[in-house]
């Protein structure tokens, strides 16, 4: 399994108990078997792929051309200090598709692979954080990462990633990690990071979007749809909208109830029912089985990709 090999002497139980989702982790040399998956030629081949998703960036500023550069332009762009970033590279390269499937099979989350080709002495992007768990596999050259824990917007989701991440408000201490070919670095979701290429560098960034607690609401909705309580219509005022002053019903002793009163009573009942459903062992068992089925599908996909590559 890919994590066992990457972790080397560290047990996966220890990694998941003490590190995963909590703090960065780096291992020297245990990703050497993956170095062949990322090279300058890999980046050139990806640039030539149909519908390639490419960003060209230098010191945080985008290349002024709003197009994908041709492979024959890549060397000149690197010479000018530009980083070539190919996003979702697993869609265009079978080796990277196998890599993505291997991570997904063990971590049960939407997985993609980005390829970064950065010239020595440069950085492509400034301080930022991601909603995914990020595994950085250094395949060529040397790159130094700077990291900080995020106290400005911890536990981000894709929906809560702001345009202005407000890095200047962060006060957590700085840590650094130097990656050479065959080294790798895990960055938990939300952790600030930026990178500086010491020499011409190729990095594979595997991003895994793990379900967040709020995703349980999407899952439980399927169960709640069978409930009459959840399918009933909400109260309205006399004008057709919920009102704080309309009194369409009566409470105990003939006391008039506003639409807001009725809505509050219903919300209390819904909250009680939602708690029952979310803590129902059968629902939790079903959700965990869904995660395992997803992981098994990814394992089968990885095996099929390996078999097709061997033919």
Tokens of 266: 């219903």
Measure the CA–CA gap between 307 and 302, rounded to whole angstroms.
Answer: 9
CATH 2.60.120.650 residue ranges of the chain are 2-212
Per-residue model confidence as pLDDT tens for the chain (311 residues) = 899 999 999 999 999 999 999 999 999 999 999 999 999 999 999 999 999 999 999 988 899 998 999 999 999 999 999 999 999 999 999 999 999 999 999 999 999 999 999 999 998 889 999 999 999 999 999 999 999 999 999 999 999 898 889 999 999 999 999 999 999 999 999 999 999 999 999 999 999 999 999 999 999 998 899 999 999 988 776 555 555 555 555 555 556 677 788 889 999 999 999 999 999 999 999 999 998 998 899 889 888 887 776 65
List phi, psi (to 5°) of 145.
-105, 140
The DSSP bridge pattern shows strands 61-62 and 110-118 to be unpaired
pLDDT of 259 reads 79
DSSP 3-state percent helix, strand, coil across the chain (nearest 5): 40, 20, 40
Tokens of 17: 């108990």
pLDDT of 304 reads 87
pTM attached to this predicted model: 0.89
Q: How far apart are the first and last CA of the chain?
A: 22
Tokens of 290: 């869904």
**Residue range 2-212, CATH number:** 2.60.120.650
pLDDT of 237 reads 63
pLDDT of 253 reads 54
Measure the CA–CA gap between 218 and 239, rounded to whole angstroms.
Answer: 32
The strand pairing partners of 202, in sequence order, are 117, 140
Measure the CA–CA gap between 134 and 128, rounded to whole angstroms.
Answer: 13
pLDDT of 23 reads 97
Measure the CA–CA gap between 113 and 101, rounded to whole angstroms.
Answer: 10
Measure the CA–CA gap between 85 and 55, rounded to whole angstroms.
Answer: 5
pLDDT of 254 reads 55
């Amino acid at each position: 399994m890919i994590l066992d090999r990457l972790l080397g002497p560290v047990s996966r139980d220890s990694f998941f108990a003490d590190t995963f989702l909590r703090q960065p982790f780096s291992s020297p040399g245990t990703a050497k078997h993956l170095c062949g998956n990322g090279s300058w030629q890999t980046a050139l081949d990806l640039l030539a792929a149909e519908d390639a998703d490419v960003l060209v960036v230098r010191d945080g500023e985008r290349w002024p051309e709003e197009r994908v550069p041709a492979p024959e332009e890549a060397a000149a762009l690197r010479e000018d200090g530009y980083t070539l970033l190919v996003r979702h590279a697993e869609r265009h390269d079978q080796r990277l598709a196998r890599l993505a499937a291997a991570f997904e099979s063990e971590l049960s989350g939407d997985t993609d692979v980005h390829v970064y080709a950065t010239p020595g002495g440069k950085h492509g992007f400034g301080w930022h954080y991601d909603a995914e768990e990020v595994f950085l596999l250094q395949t060529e050259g040397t790159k130094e990462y700077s990291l900080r824990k995020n106290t400005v917007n911890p536990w981000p989701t894709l929906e809560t990633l702001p345009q202005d991440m407000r890095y200047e408000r962060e006060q957590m201490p700085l840590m650094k990690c130097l990656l050479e070919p065959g080294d790798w670095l895990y960055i938990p979701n939300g952790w600030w990071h930026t990178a500086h290429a010491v020499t011409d560098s190729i990095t594979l960034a595997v991003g895994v979007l793990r379900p967040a607690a709020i995703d349980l609401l999407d899952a439980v909705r399927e169960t709640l749809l069978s409930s009459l309580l959840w399918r009933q219509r909400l109260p309205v005022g006399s004008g057709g909208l919920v009102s704080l002053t309309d009194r369409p019903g009566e409470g105990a002793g003939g006391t008039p109830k506003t639409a807001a009163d009725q809505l509050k009573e219903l919300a209390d009942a819904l909250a009680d029912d939602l708690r029952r459903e979310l803590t129902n062992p059968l629902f939790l068992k079903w959700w965990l089985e869904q995660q395992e089925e997803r992981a098994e599908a990814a394992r089968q996909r990885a095996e099929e990709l390996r078999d097709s590559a061997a033919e």
